[in-house]
Structure 1
Amino acid sequence: MTTADQLGDRTAVGGDLGTFLRTRRAALRPDQVCLPTYGQRRVPGLRREELAELAGVSSTYYTRLEQGLATNASDQVLDAVARALRLSTVERAHLFELARGPRPELRDPDAEGPARNGLVRVLDALADAPTILLGRSHDILAWNRLGHALLAPHLPFAAPNDLPRRPNKIALLFLDAPSRSLYREWEFEAELAVASLHYVAAQYPGDPALTRLIGELTVASRDFARIWAEHPVELCISGVKRYHHPELGRVDLDYEVLHVPGDEGQRYLIHTARPGSPDEAALRLLASRSITG
């Protein structure tokens, strides 16, 4: 077994419940939850016994929960812990995923093969919007001309069809210099990508592609290993991407993530520009160049 495989097994596809709870506990200060502070603390955040008191469970039980030894925690206990940790809605859902463990595999084993023709035609129909189709493990399954021209013009357009070497959006973000320089707010994008990966990994524990990706990136990228250990969690649905494109310069685009029903984990990442903005003009210019190119 390679080092990457060992790290992938350890890190979790499905994440690490103990790591998640510890990072969230460390992020809470006593004054945030109306607890007194006495002297200098050796570790950041709340102590286990303090968190247990806030959640209304015994310190022994909470310690076992952090250690992964308390199986079948009730919804009431998990809700109490989530409230004590002040988790967001997404973080609460992530906590439940981690605590519940593996779920039955629903995916067709061939789902991450070539993108379905119908899904590719949807990409083509969105010709004016840079769009890519992502798989569960953030592999780029397909893209339209404008999506390719925006996100990876240095790669062949047919790269997603080369299954053994298909580009992966998160791997590009951390390991590919042109892709890394594309983002004006790289650290923010990196944290968002890892947060999304944590969320997906908890939903599909044991997924081989996710295990391999996490292990390989942990070995290859110190930045990835650092952010992964912080255990951020986020469900990326919409927002703004701030690019510095090699041809267009600064471009700010809204994005939406649309999931494909029946193809677990597959989703479209669609970019749009605000009407009448310089960004819309930049996209028109990029579209004309991608057609003539």
Structure 2
Amino acid sequence: MAEKTALGDFLRSRRGGVKPEDVGVASRGARRVPGLRREELAQLAGVSVTYYTRLEQGQSTNASESVIDALARALDLNDDERAHLHDLARPVRAKRRRPTRPAVARPGTRQVIDAMVNVPAVVLGRHSQVLAWNTLGHLLLAGHYAFDAPDHVAERPNLTKMLFLDSHHRHLYVRWEDEASRAVASLSLVAGRYKDDRDLAELIGELTMKSPEFASMWSKHPVANCTSGTKYFRHPEVGDLALEFEALHLPDEPGHRILMYSARPGTASEAALRLLQSKVLPEHPVLDRARELEA
């Protein structure tokens, strides 16, 4: 039932955000709510009002790809929103539920991020839980956690949860609202893609109950695939940093990604990142081995 509600909620949120005059619909009579009426959207998409109403109310679960595409065009959805609508409309296949094993970072992935001695890097699971981080990534994002916290499932840091519920992590971001909006939009996209993920549903439920800010943002159904951009930090040890981030998705581990940060050359942020490096890298095992080879 949850996926049916999610589809209807998303359609209503986007329908309410379309101005009739922007799509050539003549306004007739007073409108109790902003946006398009159901019959107006149905007409724009070329489907019957009855069918669209059943779809929005979760009473129809077999909408064709062409119908979903028509609704996406009528609502003027962007690429991320269109993909999300298709995910929500796709029925969950009944399958035998198996016990889920905790996600782990592969040894090869750990080796790659450990070799990035100049780049803060974090391996994230589907739920934004930290599966591994290198020394610089740990110090940048969560120095108040034990370095081996990702190895203990019950203690694993979760970047989205920390953003809303961990005051230390929250204060790390100069533009917290932008960062929070980005995290919620990304989580919404993942939730539509993995509708049968019980752990993901529990995470969303916990955040909704414990954080009014998350609940408010989540209710607006934002959607965005956040794979690159700029994050603005105010680090307690080195001050302000503006770091570019890139998310590298791992094809063999659905939902897993490596999050990497870098500073533009010649900037104050690069100097601050080097200062942060100086606090940890003299004792880094990769550098120690490199020095041995050079000797």
Same fold (TM over 0.5): yes
- Does 2:243 correspond to 1:253? yes
Q: 1:133 to 1:29 in 2, by over 3 A?
A: same
Take 1:245 and 1:40, find their aligned partners in 2: how far apart are those partners?
Answer: 52
Where do residues 76-225 of structure 1 align in structure 2 (5 Å cutoff)? 76-102=66-92, 112-225=102-215
Q: Which amino acid in structure 2 is aligned with residue 34 of structure 1? A: G
Take 2:253 and 2:5, find their aligned partners in 1: how far apart are those partners?
Answer: 22
Provide the secondary structure at the position in 2 that maps to 1:142: strand
Take 1:244 and 1:217, find their aligned partners in 2: how far apart are those partners?
Answer: 24
Match of 2:6 among 13, 16, 36: 16
Deviations 1:253-288 (A, max 9, x none): 111100112111110011011111111111110011
Provide the secondary structure at the position in 1 that maps to 2:132: strand
- Does 2:270 correspond to 1:269? no
Q: Which runs of 4+ in 1 moved over 4 A?
A: 108-111
Q: Which runs of 5 or more structure 1 residues have no equivalent in the other structure?
A: 1-8
Provide the secondary structure at the position in 2 that maps to 1:189: helix
Structure 1 residue 40 displacement after superposition: 3.9
Provide the secondary structure at the position in 2 that maps to 1:148: helix
Structure 1 residue 199 displacement after superposition: 0.8
Superposed CA RMSD in Å reads 2.1
User: Which structure has the larger Rg?
Assistant: 2
Structure 1 residue 190 displacement after superposition: 1.0
Q: 1:109 to 1:145 in 2, by over 3 A?
A: farther
Structure 1 residue 171 displacement after superposition: 0.3
- Does 2:32 correspond to 1:42? yes
Conservation of the 8 A alpha-carbon contact between 2:62 and 2:91: no
Where do residues 52-71 of structure 1 align in structure 2 (5 Å cutoff)? 52-71=42-61
Match of 1:286 among 276, 281, 289: 276
Conservation of the 8 A alpha-carbon contact between 1:274 and 1:280: yes
Q: Which amino acid in structure 1 is aligned with residue 73 of structure 2? A: R
Q: Which runs of 5 or more structure 2 residues have no equivalent in the other structure?
A: 284-295
Q: 1:242 to 1:62 in 2, by over 3 A?
A: same
Q: Which amino acid in structure 1 is aligned with residue 232 of structure 2? A: R
Q: 1:131 to 1:147 in 2, by over 3 A?
A: same
Structure 1 residue 44 displacement after superposition: 1.7
Structure 1 residue 112 displacement after superposition: 3.6
Structure 1 residue 168 displacement after superposition: 0.6
Conservation of the 8 A alpha-carbon contact between 2:103 and 2:125: no
Identity %: 52
Question: What's the TM-score once normalised by structure 1's chain length?
Answer: 0.90
Q: Which amino acid in structure 2 is aligned with residue 287 of structure 1? A: Q
Provide the secondary structure at the position in 2 that maps to 1:218: helix
Take 1:188 and 1:279, find their aligned partners in 2: how far apart are those partners?
Answer: 19
Take 1:148 and 1:194, find their aligned partners in 2: how far apart are those partners?
Answer: 22
Take 1:224 and 1:148, find their aligned partners in 2: how far apart are those partners?
Answer: 25
Structure 1 residue 289 displacement after superposition: 1.2
Q: 1:204 to 1:111 in 2, by over 3 A?
A: same
Take 2:100 and 2:114, find their aligned partners in 1: how far apart are those partners?
Answer: 23
Higher relative contact order, chain-length normalized (CA < 8 Å, sep 6+): 1
Q: Which amino acid in structure 1 is aligned with residue 243 of structure 2? A: L
Q: Which amino acid in structure 2 is aligned with residue 206 of structure 1? A: D
Provide the secondary structure at the position in 1 that maps to 2:280: helix
Take 1:144 and 1:194, find their aligned partners in 2: how far apart are those partners?
Answer: 25
Conservation of the 8 A alpha-carbon contact between 1:101 and 1:205: no
Structure 1 residue 109 displacement after superposition: 6.5
Conservation of the 8 A alpha-carbon contact between 2:104 and 2:131: yes
Q: 1:113 to 1:70 in 2, by over 3 A?
A: closer
